[in-house]
Each structure stands twice: as structure tokens, then as C-alpha cells.
Amino acid sequence: MTVSHTAAPAAASAPAAASTATPTAEALASHLRSAVSVLVRTTRTVDRLPPIPAATLDLLDVRGPMTTADLAASRGVRHQTMAATVKDLTDAGYITAVPDPADARKKNLTLTPSGKNMIETDRAHRVAVLATAVEQSLDTDERQVLATALALIDRLAAAIPSVVPSTVPSAIPAAIPSAIPSAVPVSPPTGIVRRGRESRAPHPRT
């Protein structure tokens, strides 16, 4: 008697590998903040101005004429700290004081042509560094991915003002240990003093 053997059914194919889990908003935010911080620090290594004077010129260029008090408030530093920076920039010929048309007692600070040229030159140097890095590190497809990512980052930046009031703690510690690295060793133009860390005004205790 011949016994027929029925072939066993083929084993079910192994399930497809689980797709990579979508990162949480917190994880994405942490990585983005870190990446942007590194990007800013590394591109600023080609700046001719130290960080504090450069940031001051940038504020005046973006926002227009401002008082020393306005600059100090925008940077979150003490008035005397900003006054010293303003003096350095004035002595170097990068900014000048003009009367406030609405209040003769006030002096508004504005960029001189030399100051405008200085900040635009530093920006151009940063762009050149980034462009070279893109050319050397990313292929065509990756550049397209980067372009898409930049559009998303622009959307995030536009959304931040609307979410800040609901996410910032009501009480901020008056003293936070500093972990700010020392200034990048780039020789500043004549007349600009490379100062240490900004002296930030302490937040009121609650």
C-alpha cells in the first residue's frame, strides 16, 4: 500500500520588520536645539567680531535704531555691560548716536556704513562656510531633503511665539550655573575689546 505524503504548507513568511517608531516631539526638539546650537557656534568661528559686539550690530541692523537700554533688555544683560559694548563699537566707528525725534533726552544708536559692512561681511562668511559644507557633505537627494527640512523649521520658528506663554515656567531660578564656553579665539578688529561672559541681570525671585 502506497502512502502518499502531502507536502506541508509553506511556513508563513516572517512579518516585515517593524518600522522605526516616530520620535517624540521632545526628542525632536532636543536634537534640533542641539544641532542648531552647534551649527551657530561653528559657523561663527569665521566672524571677525566677538559674539557680543556682533549680536549688538545684528540687533541694530534687524530692528533699526535702539537705545542702550533697549539693547540691554533685548540681550538680557545689565545696562552697564551693554554701555561698555556700545562704547567699544562707537570708538571703532561701527555705530553712532543720534537724537530721538520723539524725545530729545534720548539717544538712539544706529549703524554706520562701516558697521553695516562689518555685519554683512561676517554673515557672508558664515553662508560661505555652510555652502561649502553642503557641497562637500550632501548629495543631490540629501540637499532636497534639507530644503524640505528648512521649510519645516521655518514653520516651527513662526509657531514659537504663540506657544511660548503656555510653556515657559512662571518662576525662573535667580542663578543658573554657567556652562557658556569661552569666546572663539578670533582676533577682533582694532578698537573692539573681546570681553568675557555677558553680565546678565538676575531674574527676580518669586
Helix (H, G, I), strand (E, B) or coil at 181: coil
Distance between CA 79 and CA 68 in Å, rounded? 7
DSSP state of 77: -
Which amino acid is located at 129 in the chain?
A: V
What's the burial of 118, exposed, middle or buried (CB within 10 Å: 0-12/13-18/19+)? Answer: buried
Total domains in the chain come to 1
Average pLDDT value for residue range 45-71: 91
Q: What is the mean pLDDT of residues 90-107?
A: 88
9 found inside a domain: no
> In CATH, what number is assigned to the domain containing residue 150?
1.10.10.10
Is 95 part of a structural domain of the chain? yes
Q: Does a structural domain hold residue 101?
A: yes
Tell me, yes or no, whether 25 lies in a domain. no
pTM tops 0.75, yes or no: no
> Domain containing 66: what range?
32-160
pLDDT at 195: 56
* Helices assigned H by DSSP within 22-168: 25-43, 51-63, 68-75, 79-91, 113-137, 140-167
Asked if the structure places residue 112 within a domain, the reply is yes
